[in-house]
């Protein structure tokens, strides 16, 4: 049975979006305000780029069980809500479905539980899994968005890439499960620390979970809002690089900026002149920065676009190959025997 669309429009999805953004800001502020309580937590010395600093030198049974149990409950809850929405709702509306309210409340409750868990036991999932798994989950999420939007805005300067329709349709239909995993996994990977990088990251992750909670509403497919979520990674990556002092901020700024110029801005309905002016401004900034930085480092700006566009084709091929293999391995359905057959 399909759930009916809500009759009341007193609280629209737009109201929920702004309310969710205010909650995200307030939650991030709470992490910052409570940060001093975590200053006495011991850490091992930093061992380089592949080392995650914010974890206990000697994890306890409680720290591990609390992080993994709450993560699993959060993850399964969202997957269950997505399944319910896909099987019972299936209609877009300006207002909120009851399942949206439940999803928003669930994310808020688990966010508060994560804050409490950090201050009681500290550790997140980082104790047991690689830092690259957290970073990779967000990268894959953004690549899946490129795949999903290929038909509407194109992949390269408004021209669509030759991606298999069946694979793209599969990604569009089931992306919610992967996006929920990427956001929730990343959220529980980190303790609720108050460093600048953590605060920006938690705010961004909360915004992604907010987007996921508004499934089957018009806000969920609002192009300006979804593009904002895509582009924020440029701000996040650049600021974190600057704060870490590793001198790689141009790679993030111009790398993700390049994806905006090549792909993302072509879905905004801008005129050719407007797009040309924006592209020219981007190239002017690149020239200005690398005139002082050194032209030998110019390859930095193509690293992220090359990885992302390569992943677009690799992931589409893997999904398409998986679907083909699934069809080949499925047992044929039995057919009734014709009259007279032995």
194-230 pLDDT tens trace: 998 899 999 999 999 999 999 999 999 999 999 999 9
Q: Which two tokens stand for residue 39?
A: 């200053």
Q: Which two tokens stand for residue 177?
A: 């499960």
Give which of 252, 242, 246 is closest to 139, Cα–Cα: 252
Contact 56, 124 (CB under 8 A): no
Q: Which two tokens stand for residue 84?
A: 């319910």
pLDDT at 226: 94
Mean pLDDT of 156-182: 95
Give which of 225, 221, 289 is closest to 257, Cα–Cα: 289
Mean pLDDT of 297-306: 95
Query: Is the pLDDT score of 6 beyond 70?
Result: no
Contact 96, 154 (CB under 8 A): no
- Radius of gyration for the chain, computed over Cα atoms and rounded to the nearest angstrom: 23
266/160 Cα distance (integer angstroms): 11
Q: What are phi and psi of 95, to 5 degrees?
A: -90, -165
pLDDT at 338: 44
**Interacting residues of 226 by C-beta distance below 8 A, sequence separation 6+:** 145, 211
Quick one: DSSP state of residue 86?
A: I
Contact 251, 308 (CB under 8 A): no
Phi-psi label, residue 208: left if phi above 0, alpha if psi -120 to 50, beta otherwise? alpha
Confidence at 50, pLDDT banded by 50, 70, 90: confident
Percent of the chain with pLDDT over 90: 81
Angle at 208 between CA 32 and CA 251, to 5 degrees: 80
Q: Is the dihedral of CA 238, 241, 178, 183 positive or negative?
A: negative
Using the structure block, give the residue that is written with the tokens 């500290």. 122
Query: Is the pLDDT score of 7 beyond 50?
Result: no
Give which of 208, 184, 214 is closest to 79, Cα–Cα: 184
Confidence at 333, pLDDT banded by 50, 70, 90: low
Confidence at 47, pLDDT banded by 50, 70, 90: confident
Q: Which two tokens stand for residue 134?
A: 């957290």
Task: Estimate to the nearest angstrom the gap between the alpha carbon of 285 and the chain centroid.
Answer: 28
pLDDT tens track for 269-294: 999 999 999 999 999 999 999 999 99
Mean pLDDT of 82-105: 93
pLDDT at 3: 52
How far is CA 290 from each of CA 52, 221, 261, 299, rounded to the nearest angstrom? 31, 37, 18, 10
pLDDT at 246: 76
143/81 Cα distance (integer angstroms): 24
Query: Is the pLDDT score of 342 beyond 50?
Result: no
Query: Is the pLDDT score of 341 beyond 50?
Result: no
Mean pLDDT of 120-142: 92
Contact 298, 133 (CB under 8 A): no
Q: Which of 27-31, 133-137, 330-334 has the highest average model confidence (pLDDT)?
A: 27-31
Confidence at 99, pLDDT banded by 50, 70, 90: very high
**Domain locations in the chain?**
13-36+61-327
Contact 309, 266 (CB under 8 A): no
Q: Is 225 exposed, middle or buried (0-12, 13-18, 19+ CB in 10 A)?
A: middle
Mean pLDDT of 151-168: 95
248/31 Cα distance (integer angstroms): 27
Confidence at 159, pLDDT banded by 50, 70, 90: very high
Lowest mean pLDDT among 22-26, 44-48, 210-214, 237-241: 44-48
> The whole model's pTM is what?
0.89
Long-range contacts of residues 286-289, Cβ cutoff 8 Å, at least 24 apart: 286/254, 289/250, 289/254
Query: Is the pLDDT score of 336 beyond 60?
Result: no
118/113 Cα distance (integer angstroms): 9
Query: Is the pLDDT score of 135 beyond 70?
Result: yes
SS3 93: strand
Query: Is the pLDDT score of 4 beyond 90?
Result: no
């Amino acid at each position: 049975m399909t759930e009916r669309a809500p009759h009341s429009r007193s609280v629209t999805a737009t109201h929920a979006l702004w309310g969710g953004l205010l909650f995200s800001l307030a939650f991030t502020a709470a992490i910052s305000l409570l940060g001093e309580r975590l200053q006495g937590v011991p850490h091992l010395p930093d061992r380089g780029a592949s080392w995650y600093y914010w974890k206990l030198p000697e994890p306890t049974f409680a720290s591990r069980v609390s992080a993994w149990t709450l993560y699993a409950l959060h993850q399964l809850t969202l997957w269950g809500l997505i399944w319910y929405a896909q099987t019972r709702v299936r209609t877009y509306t300006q207002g909120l479905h009851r399942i949206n309210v439940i999803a928003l409340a669930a994310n808020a409750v688990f966010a508060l539980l994560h804050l409490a868990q950090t201050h009681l036991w500290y550790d997140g999932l980082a104790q047991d899994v690689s830092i690259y798994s957290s970073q990779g989950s967000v990268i894959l999420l953004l690549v899946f968005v490129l795949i999903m939007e290929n038909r509407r805005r194109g992949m390269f300067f408004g021209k669509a890439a030759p991606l298999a329709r069946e694979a793209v349709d599969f990604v569009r239909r089931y992306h919610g499960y992967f996006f929920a995993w990427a956001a929730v996994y990343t959220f529980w990977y980190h303790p609720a620390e108050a460093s600048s990088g953590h605060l920006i990251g938690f705010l961004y992750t909360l915004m992604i979970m907010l987007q996921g909670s508004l499934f089957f509403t018009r806000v969920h497919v609002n192009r300006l809002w979804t593009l904002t979520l895509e582009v924020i990674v440029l701000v996040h990556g650049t600021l974190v690089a600057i704060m870490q002092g590793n001198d790689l901020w141009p790679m993030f700024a111009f790398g993700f900026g390049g994806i905006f110029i090549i792909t993302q801005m072509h879905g905004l309905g801008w005129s050719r002149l407007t797009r040309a002016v924006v592209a020219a401004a981007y190239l002017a900034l690149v020239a200005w920065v690398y005139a002082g930085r050194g032209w030998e480092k110019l390859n930095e700006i193509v690293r992220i676009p090359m990885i992302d566009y390569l992943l677009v084709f690799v992931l589409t091929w893997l999904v398409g190959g998986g679907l083909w293999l699934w069809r080949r391995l499925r047992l044929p359905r039995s057919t009734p025997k014709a009259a007279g057959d032995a």
